[in-house]
Amino acid sequence: MEMQEYIPIELFCRQHGVEVTVISSLQEYGLIEILKINETQCLQSNQLAEAEAIVRLYRELDINPEGIDAIMNLLQRIKEMHSQIQHLKNRLRLYEDDCI
């Protein structure tokens, strides 16, 4: 079983220059999942990259949580479409190899 590492929200906020309330509002929109470990609110380490990207959108581009939610949904759809394209390319190669 894999060991999960957790990052306290307060530490994350201090390192990224945002208020804890910002993270709480992002959680309300379902953009970030916060866990309570020993009475401390934490992020899972595997969410760190996505949380940092979300905070950058919030801070550097001044995008509100609703806008971030829309952007994250679009990025997820792009990833899914890219995966489908790769799958279709692989299938097409099978037919091309049969014709040669």
Q: What is the mean pLDDT of residues 14-26?
A: 91
Fold of 6-99: Multidrug-efflux Transporter Regulator; Chain: A; Domain 2 (1.10.1660)
At residue 94 the predicted structure's pLDDT band, cuts being 50, 70 and 90, is confident
Do residues 71 and 57 make contact, with C-beta atoms less than 8 angstroms apart? Answer: yes
Would you place residue 13 in the very low, low, confident or very high pLDDT band (cuts 50, 70, 90)?
A: very high
Position 1 scores a pLDDT of 36
pLDDT value for 2 = 47
The span from the CA of 39 to the CA of 26, in Å, is: 20
Tokens found for residue 62: 């001044």
